Structure 1
Amino acid sequence: MFGRRFSVLIVAVMVLGIILTACGAEEAQKVCAVLDTGGENDRSFNEFTLKGARDAAAEAGLEFAHIVSEAETDYEKNIQNFIDEGCSMIITVGFLMGDVTAAAARENPDVDFAIVDVEYFPGLGCDESLSDCYEEDLSNVTSLMFAEDEVGYLAGVLAGCMSESGVIGSVSGMEIPPVVKFVVGYQNGARTQNPDIETLNVYIPDFNDPSTGKQAGQAMLDDGADIIFGVGGNTGNGGVLAAHEAGKLGIGVDVDQYNTYPDVAPSLLTSAAKNMDVAAFNAVTAFANGELQAGINLGTVENEGIGLAPYHDQEANIPDECKAAVDEAKAGLAAGTIDTGYGP
């Protein structure tokens, strides 16, 4: 009788252990973020992706960790370290992490990946013989993308309407698709307000070179530009700083730089914002709910994934007709009746 009771007790303990183990495994889900170079307080991609991901993980009760890459050579190592630590979802940030993220996803199909600003196409991220990278190869990858050409177009409409000299500029980072989309939209939006406007642009192969960006901005100002759009992280910030110091106007990028770049805040017309914190928050929340889908999540004017930031200190200086032109363009983009002119 004692032996029978003892056996029942052992079975009960084993069952309880299995239940606790299962609960522990569920509680151990961990979200990790591998940030690009530039620091976690870069006032841009790293800072806002980190904020959205961390807030969502906290709200969902998930463990969270992040690391800042010191150099491009750190990307693969940082991702692998998080895989070894048992991260269930890994968010990577930026175009330069595209290849290493795809490689890690292929080797670790049980880990979910989300990458900011990188999309994969046959021949560009997966084998060209495939018809869909996500369905046939990267089934555990979600690309968090933004229609930069749309918000760039809105910034251009505003700049084209506001420019008194008939010359505007953009100081851009690397010549990669997201940056090119900003520039093309900006230039075409400006031409809707002034078909003869001169649009200056330079691509600088570095997102963290404010000194070179400032020099480029100054050169554009010397050529008559009175509005500078900074399209390239800290490099673009240098261009906007040049405009501010010259008493001209600037347009920020990626986030509302009125709040993140106070040195130039009084001179900012607006910022062409990508709501990266919202995109990261939604991706982590979807993961926590078991609803994260592979493929491209695109932020547009229509779904409010992108948009112009408030006019802040320049509100009273922007004529009503310029504000109306921006509103009209926004409505047209949302309705699909305006083509930004960008084509891959």
Structure 2
Amino acid sequence: MNATFKFFLFTFLFIFSSKNYIYASTNIAVILHGGPDLQKEGTTNESTVKGAREACTPPICNLELTNPKDETEAEYKSLLSKVAPNNDFFITQGYFAQKATHEMADKYPGKKFGIINFEFTPPVKNIASILFAEDQQGFVAGLLAAEISKKKNKKVAVIGGADIPSVKRKVNGFANGVKHACEDCTAYCLYSKSFVNENNESQGIFNAILNIKGIDVVYNAASITGTIALKNLTAHGIYGIGDTTDEWVTNWAYGSVAGSENLLTSIVQDYQVVVRDTIGTMLKNNFVAGGLVKHGLNLDSENSAIKFADCHEACEINTPNLKENMQKYIDKITKRQIDVGIDHKSGRSKISPEGSSCTMLEINKHNTMKDNDENRRSGSDHDHERKSAVANISSTSSITLFLINSIIILVLIFH
């Protein structure tokens, strides 16, 4: 092998190898949800950490995982200001991080940012708004609720959070799913004023649903507010469907809370999948900022950003046959044989002429819990309260591919 040929071969292999490892020195910062607790099992923070560590390993990138002390705009601003100078790519999460994320993106226009569960409108050129497909979440919850209820009283309900588009996508998606599986079932819907049980409104929600005789299944799409109401409803024998995390683990405390046997499942947002895929696209130089990135159902459940949690104690109701039917629904949704029928921008139903297939319920504002503080604590495990975190965790590495390429180059040069 002559010297000229060796030179060109070396150059080609070096460029090829460099293309695969173009971000070998990339520093990635992942900001978790705020709160004083360290890693808590089942939370989105735990899932985020798994996804980040799986995708980002030296020498491909260096990972910095940090958490704010509190879930406040000021805390996110302080933390992002500290990590921004030394990192190239950032993942933040949720409403309280949005202002700090925008400020840092303006300050560092050459760097890229991704924010999960918040959408910038209008878009920011170096920020990707990364959302779970809330309409699909609501729709599959509605399908499941209807499949159970159509053999019973044909009445189901959804507890929505604040009346905003992202919540409407879940609520109206739920109602559309109910109507798809059971045309003569009634989907009762209501919206709370807050996600954190302000003024103890969960009691009014509980009363409003309990007053409708014969409600079979209730879906929680209202974070802490919904969790507290749903705990009381399941304790009264009504079947429940959780949301975001496996609530049987995070909020029914592995079956130690009354009514846990009536929690059918939860519609989980798998942060591990989303964070892993987001970092992966960045490392491959395929990350696109300045718009919306949606993660939804996938035929491969392991790689699906939205999935059903285990049935745990409720498997006699959420049977294998029912699970098989739900998988058939998911297959049709992913193949676009079923349209969930929700307008993303407004959250309104495109199927119903009124913009919603819901029968709306009013919350009785005069009802209050017997012990407000105790019930607030009972909902504090919900992941939306942002209390789980991991600080400055170093990653492990897997460099097999890099070493193989290096050995090939050396062998060819000195052959």
Task: Give the TM-score range, shorter chain.
Answer: 0.7 to 0.9
| Contact kept? 2:88, 2:112, Cα under 8 Å | yes
Tell me which residue corresponds to 1:255.
245
Cα deviation code 1:146-178 (max 9, x no counterpart): 212113211111101212232222222222333
Cα deviation, residue 279, structure 1: 0.5
Q: Please, what is the CA RMSD of the aligned residues?
A: 3.1
Matched residue, 1:35? 33
Question: CA 1:44/1:181 → structure 2, altered by over 3 Å: closer, same or farther?
Answer: farther
SS of the aligned residue for 1:341 comes to: coil
Q: Which residue of 2 aligns with 1:71?
A: 72
> Counterparts of 1:171-320 in structure 2 under 5 Å?
171-209=159-197, 211-213=200-202, 215-224=204-213, 225-261=215-251, 262=253, 263=257, 265-294=260-289, 295-302=291-298, 304-318=304-318
Q: 2:137 aligns with which of 151, 171, 179?
A: 151
Runs of 4+ in structure 1 off by over 6 angstroms are: 37-40
Deviation at 1:250, TM superposition (A): 0.7
Contact 2:264-2:317 within 8 A present in 1 as well: no
Are the equivalent residues in 2 in contact too, given 1:171–1:229 (CA < 8 A)?
yes
1:202/1:58 CA distance change after superposition, 3 Å: farther
Shift in Å, 1:306: 1.4
User: Normalising to structure 1: TM-score of the pair?
Assistant: 0.76
Structure-2 residue corresponding to 1:49: 48
Instruction: Quote how far apart the aligned CAs of 1:93 are.
Output: 1.0
| Counterpart code for 1:53 | A
- 1:245, CA displacement in angstroms? 1.2
- Whether the aligned pair in 1 keeps the contact of 2:143 and 2:174 (CA below 8 Å) is yes
The verdict on how the C-alpha distance between 1:165 and 1:66 changes in structure 2, with shifts beyond 3 A counting, is same
User: In structure 1, which of residues 152, 163, 170 is the aligned counterpart of residue 158 of structure 2?
Assistant: 170
The Cα of 1:235 is off from its aligned counterpart by 2.0
Work out the number of aligned pairs and report it.
305
Q: Deviations over 1:91-141 (max 9, x none)?
A: 211145434423321221233211112234xxx23xxxxxxx4xxx51x32
Q: Larger helix proportion, structure 1 or 2?
A: 1
| Compared CA separation, residues 195 and 248, structure 1 to 2 (3 A) | same
Structure 1, gaps ≥5 residues long: 1-24, 126-132
- Tell me, in whole angstroms, the C-alpha distance in 2 between the residues paired with 1:32 and 1:273: 21
Pick closer, same or farther for the CA change 1:171–1:333 going to 2, 3 Å: same
Higher strand share: 1
1:80 has 2:48 as partner: no
Q: Retained in 2: the 8 A contact 1:34–1:92?
A: yes
The higher relative CO (CA closer than 8 Å, separation ≥ 6) is in 2
